Amino acid sequence: MDAPTIPVSADSFEGSFGDTIDIGVDVIHPVPVSSVVFPAATVVMTLAQYGDAIQGIQEHLLEVPIQEELRALRDRVDIVKAKRASLHATIRMMGAVETVLRNCIRDERLTRIEIECQLDLVQESHRQDQEDFKNLKEFMTSQFGYRS
C-alpha cells in the first residue's frame, strides 16, 4: 500500500518557488494492514486533519520573517565588522602616538642632559672666572697695593 501524498504549495512573500512538496505518511499498525479495515470516512477525516495541520504549519512558516531576520543579522555582522575595523585603526593610531611620544620623551631627556652638561660647563667657567678674578685681585693688591 502506497503512502498518501498531499501536494503543498511553497509560496514566499518574495515570490513563488513554483514547486510542490510531497509529504508521505506511513501508517504503522501492529496488525497486518490486510486484516485491518478502515472506514472510508475515517481515512478521509484523518487525511483532512493532517492536511489542515500541514497547511497550518506552512502558513506559520510563511509568516516567519526569515529574510528580515537574516538581513538584520547581516546588518549586525556588518556593524560589528565596522566596529572591529575602527578599533583596529584606533589601536594602530594609539601605537603610532605612543611611538611619537616615546621619541619626544627620549629627545627631551637628551636635551635635558645636554642642557645640564652646558650648565655644568657654565658653572665651571663661572667658578674659574671667580677664581681668576680673585687671583687678579690678589695680584693687584700685592703688586700695586690697590685695595677695594
Instruction: Report the mean per-residue pLDDT for the chain.
Output: 80
**pLDDT for 12:** 46
Mean pLDDT of all residues in 68-75: 88
Report residue 18's pLDDT band, with 50, 70 and 90 as the boundaries.
low
pTM of the model: 0.41
Residue pair 23/5 in contact (Cβ under 8 Å)? The answer is: yes
Write out the H or E segment, with its range, that includes residue 46: helix 40-63
- Provide the grid cell at 74: 547581516
**pLDDT for 93:** 96
Residue range 93-127, pLDDT digits in tens: 999 999 999 999 999 999 999 999 999 999 999 99
- Lowest pLDDT segment from 30-39, 88-97, 117-126: 30-39
Report residue 52's pLDDT band, with 50, 70 and 90 as the boundaries.
confident
Cα(138)–Cα(130) distance, integer angstroms: 12
Cα(53)–Cα(61) distance, integer angstroms: 12
Residue the block writes with cell 518557488: 17
Write out the H or E segment, with its range, that includes residue 9: strand 5-12
